[in-house]
C-alpha cells in the first residue's frame, strides 16, 4: 500500500478546505516546495498535489510549482482544473507522473475511451463521492451514477487505477470509511482512497479491505498523524 501526503494549492499557498467548501479555507502559511521537501526527507516516495485554484477556475494555475516539486524526484500525482487534453499535456510536461481527471470523463460518454487511448496509465479517473453519487467540477455537479457503477464502467473501458474520495468526510478529520472501499474494491487492488483519513488505524483499516493507496492531508498539518506513523501503517506496521 502506498502513502501519499497531500498538498492542496491556492494562490501559491498550502491550504485545506472542509468538504470542498472555499468559504472554509485554511491557509497553513507553508512553502509548498519546502513542504514537499520535508515529505521526501521523511521517506515519502509519492506525493498528491491538488490545484484547488485550478479546480475553481477550470484550468491549472500552479504548473510552475508542479515543475519544481516534480524536480525533487518523487512520484507526483496531480489534479485540479484539468478539463482539456491540453491541460493534461501541460501537467504531464511539467512533471506529473499521473494526472487525476474527473470532469472530462463525466461530461461526455465518448471521452473516457479517448483519454485512455491518448494518455494510458498516466490518466487516473477521480471518482468523487457525495451522498452515494459521483460528483465532479469541484464537486459542484452531480451525476446519476453510484461510485460502483462508475468504477465498473471505467474498469471495462480499461483504466487501471482510480482515486476515490469520500467528499462527505474530506477535511473533517473524522476517520475513513473502509466499508465504502470494501464494496468498491471487488478484489481489485486499484483504488487510492481519500477523505477523512486521520490516524494510522484508518490506514490499517483501508489496507485490510484491499486499497492500493491512502492520501492524507489535513491530519498531517494538524497533528493527527505523522509521516512516520503513516508510512509504517501503509507498509504493514502499526
Q: What is the pLDDT of residue 194?
A: 95
Domain ranges of the chain: 2-235
Give the pLDDT band of residue 14 (cuts 50, 70, 90).
Answer: very high
Give per-residue pLDDT as tens, 33-56. Answer: 999 999 999 999 999 999 999 988
Give per-residue pLDDT as tens, 120-179. Answer: 999 999 999 988 899 877 666 777 899 999 999 999 999 999 999 998 887 767 789 999
- Fold classification of 2-235 is TIM Barrel (3.20.20)
pTM reported for the whole predicted model: 0.93
Active site residue 190: no
| CB of 33 closer than 8 Å to CB of 74 | no
Instruction: Give phi and psi for 108, each to the nearest 5.
Output: -145, 120
In this predicted structure, the answer to whether residue 235 has a pLDDT above a threshold of 80 is yes
In this predicted structure, the answer to whether residue 205 has a pLDDT above a threshold of 90 is yes
Give the pLDDT band of residue 187 (cuts 50, 70, 90).
Answer: confident
Q: What is the pLDDT of residue 170?
A: 77
What mean pLDDT is reported for the chain?
Answer: 92
| CB of 139 closer than 8 Å to CB of 167 | yes
Q: Give the other-Cβ count within 10 Å of 174's Cβ.
A: 13
Q: Which of 51, 128, 190, 202 is catalytic?
A: 128
Active site residue 110: no
- Give the percent of the chain with pLDDT over 90: 77
The three-state (H, E, C) secondary structure of the chain, written as one string: CEEEEEEEEECCEEEEEECCEEEEEEECCCCHHHHHHHHHHCCCCEEEEEEHHHHHHCCCCCHHHHHHHHCCCCEEEEECCCCCHHHHHHHHHCCCCEEEECHHHHHCCCHHHHHHHHHHHHEEEEEEEECCEEEECCCCEECCCCHHHHHHHHHHHCCCCEEEEECCCCCCCCCCCHHHHHHHHCCCCCEEEECCCCCHHHHHHHHHCCCCEEEECHHHHCCCCCHHHHHHHHHCCC
Question: Residue for cell digits 516539486?
Answer: 69
Q: What is the pLDDT of residue 238?
A: 59
Q: Which of 101, 102, 105 is nearest to 113 (CA)?
A: 105
Q: What is the pLDDT of residue 237?
A: 67
Q: What is the pLDDT of residue 138?
A: 66
Give the pLDDT band of residue 111 (cuts 50, 70, 90).
Answer: very high
Amino acid at each position: 500500500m502506498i502513502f501519499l501526503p497531500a498538498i492542496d494549492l491556492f494562490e501559491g499557498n498550502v491550504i485545506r478546505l472542509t468538504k470542498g467548501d472555499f468559504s472554509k479555507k485554511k491557509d497553513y502559511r507553508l512553502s509548498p516546495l519546502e513542504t514537499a521537501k520535508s515529505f521526501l526527507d521523511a521517506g515519502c516516495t509519492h506525493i498528491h498535489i491538488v490545484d484547488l485554484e485550478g479546480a475553481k477556475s477550470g484550468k491549472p494555475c500552479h504548473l510552475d510549482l508542479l515543475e519544481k516539486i516534480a524536480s525533487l524526484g518523487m512520484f507526483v500525482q496531480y489534479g485540479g482544473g484539468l478539463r482539456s487534453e491540453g491541460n493534461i499535456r501541460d501537467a504531464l510536461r511539467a512533471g506529473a507522473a499521473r494526472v487525476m481527471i474527473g470532469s472530462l470523463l463525466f461530461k461526455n460518454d465518448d471521452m473516457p475511451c479517448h483519454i485512455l487511448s491518448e494518455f494510458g496509465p498516466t490518466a487516473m479517473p477521480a471518482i468523487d463521492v457525495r451522498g452515494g453519487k459521483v460528483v465532479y467540477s469541484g464537486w459542484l455537479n452531480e451525476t446519476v451514477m453510484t461510485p460502483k457503477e462508475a468504477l465498473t464502467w471505467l474498469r471495462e473501458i480499461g483504466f487501471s487505477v482510480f482515486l476515490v474520495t469520500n467528499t462527505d468526510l474530506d477535511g473533517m478529520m473524522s476517520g475513513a470509511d473502509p466499508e465504502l472501499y470494501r464494496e468498491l474494491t471487488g478484489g481489485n487492488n486499484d483504488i487510492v482512497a481519500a477523505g477523512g483519513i486521520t490516524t494510522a488505524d484508518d490506514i490499517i483499516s483501508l489496507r485490510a479491505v484491499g486499497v492500493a493507496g491512502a492520501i492524507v492531508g489535513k491530519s498531517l498539518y494538524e497533528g493527527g498523524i505523522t509521516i512516520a506513523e503513516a508510512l509504517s501503517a501503509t507498509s504493514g506496521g502499526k
